Amino acid sequence: MRKVIVAGNWKMNKTAKEAAEFFAEFKPLVADVKNAGIVIGVPFTALETATRETAGSNIKIAAENMNANDSGAYTGEVSPLMLKDLGVEYVILGHSERREYYGETDAIVNEKVKAALKHGLKPILCVGEKLEERENGTTEKVVEEQIVGGLKDVCAEKMANVVIAYEPVWAIGTGKTATPAQAQEVHAFIRNLLVKMYNAEVAENVTVQYGGSMNDANAAELITQKDIDGGLVGGASLIPEKFTVIVKAGDSAVK
Ligand code: PEP
């Protein structure tokens, strides 16, 4: 059985104080969640607060990016060692906003994925096509390139700690969600690709999340699709009650 994981991505939102307020409200709402993993990606400045406020709970904390190096002359950057030191467990890598605004290529994302795994952080590798790529029929080619590139030299054993998030770029922050059938089709493609890259066991066990305007109204229909193992949620993860509904949809979905 593979794990359903519902992860939030706050992006550049919430101060440390606002993060503390969020967790005070959110923690009791999800205290009874047993099956689904709950992860929240917060800005670097809120990581310490977030790990402290969620210590001993069923909520895990993610960073939204990191540098691949352990330390050194990389002004403004944050290393995997620094994240580990704060009790961070996951790191979102290759988000489309980082690819688009900060020039992250598959090669750069791959270095980060390998660095995360080396230090015992679990990468959430984001992949997904742009609108024009969907329209010109290259969705599978784009997703395959991003997965093959992002996971280069990552062995089957390490895949137990990797999460993949399929996030069609045209659905992120736009209110345009992929239909459950559209999302399931790409998730099945990803699962088959993992069989080819690794083996059936790895493919069966990797959590593949959907992201892109997932909300409290559409989460259950998406997460109950055969190959959709949870979500990576932007906007709706900022509001405790809304995110709780999505987490609970994940909690009752059996894979
Ligand atoms: C995201 O940032 O990964 C995302 C899916 O955002 P939203 O849910 O707001 O579309």
Domain ranges of the chain: 5-247
Task: Read off the pLDDT band of 199 (50, 70, 90).
Answer: very high
Q: Residue 89 above 90 pLDDT?
A: yes
Q: List, in sequence order, every residue forming a beta bridge with 93; answer none if it has no partner.
A: 125
Q: Residue 91 above 90 pLDDT?
A: yes
- DSSP H stretches of helix in the chain: 16-29, 44-54, 80-85, 96-101, 106-118, 131-135, 139-150, 180-197, 200-205, 219-223, 240-251
State mean pLDDT over 5-15: 98
Q: Residue 1 above 90 pLDDT?
A: no
Ligand 1 centre from 215 Cα, in Å? 10
Distance CA 67, CA 108 (A): 9
Ligand 1 centre from 73 Cα, in Å? 32
State mean pLDDT over 2-7: 97
Residue-wise pLDDT for 145-157, tens only, equals: 999 999 999 999 9
Ligand 1 centre from 72 Cα, in Å? 32
Q: Residue 56 above 90 pLDDT?
A: yes
Token pair, residue 226, equals 């055969």
Q: What is the pLDDT of residue 233?
A: 98
Q: Residue 79 above 90 pLDDT?
A: yes
Residue-wise pLDDT for 131-141, tens only, equals: 999 999 999 99
Per the residue annotation, which of 111, 129, 167, 187 is the catalytic one? Answer: 167
Q: Residue 195 above 90 pLDDT?
A: yes
Residue appearing with tokens 């270095």: 111
Please answer whether residues 9 and 41 qualify as being in contact, where contact means their C-beta atoms are separated by less than 8 angstroms: yes
Residue appearing with tokens 């670097």: 44
Q: Residue 113 above 90 pLDDT?
A: yes
Task: Read off the pLDDT band of 255 (50, 70, 90).
Answer: confident
Compute CA distances 206 → 20, 64, 253, whole Å. Answer: 31, 20, 16
Question: Does pTM surpass 0.75?
Answer: yes
Task: List, in order, residues 6 or more apart from 99 with CB less than 8 Å away.
Answer: 105, 109
Distance CA 140, CA 198 (A): 18
State mean pLDDT over 77-84: 98
Task: Read off the pLDDT band of 4 (50, 70, 90).
Answer: very high
Distance CA 124, CA 121 (A): 10
Domain at 5-247: CATH architecture:
Alpha-Beta Barrel (3.20)
State mean pLDDT over 158-164: 98
Q: What is the pLDDT of residue 254?
A: 80
Residue-wise pLDDT for 210-236, tens only, equals: 999 999 999 999 999 999 999 999 999
Q: Is the CB of 233 under 6 A from ligand 1?
A: yes
Return the ∠ at Cα 191 (arms to 2 and 230), rounded to 5°. Answer: 45
Q: What is the pLDDT of residue 18?
A: 98
Atom of ligand 1 nearest to the CA of 167: 5
Q: Residue 165 above 90 pLDDT?
A: yes
How many of the other CB atoms lie within 10 Å of CB of 116?
A: 26
Pocket test for ligand 1, best of 126, 127, 214 (most atoms within 8 A of CB): 214
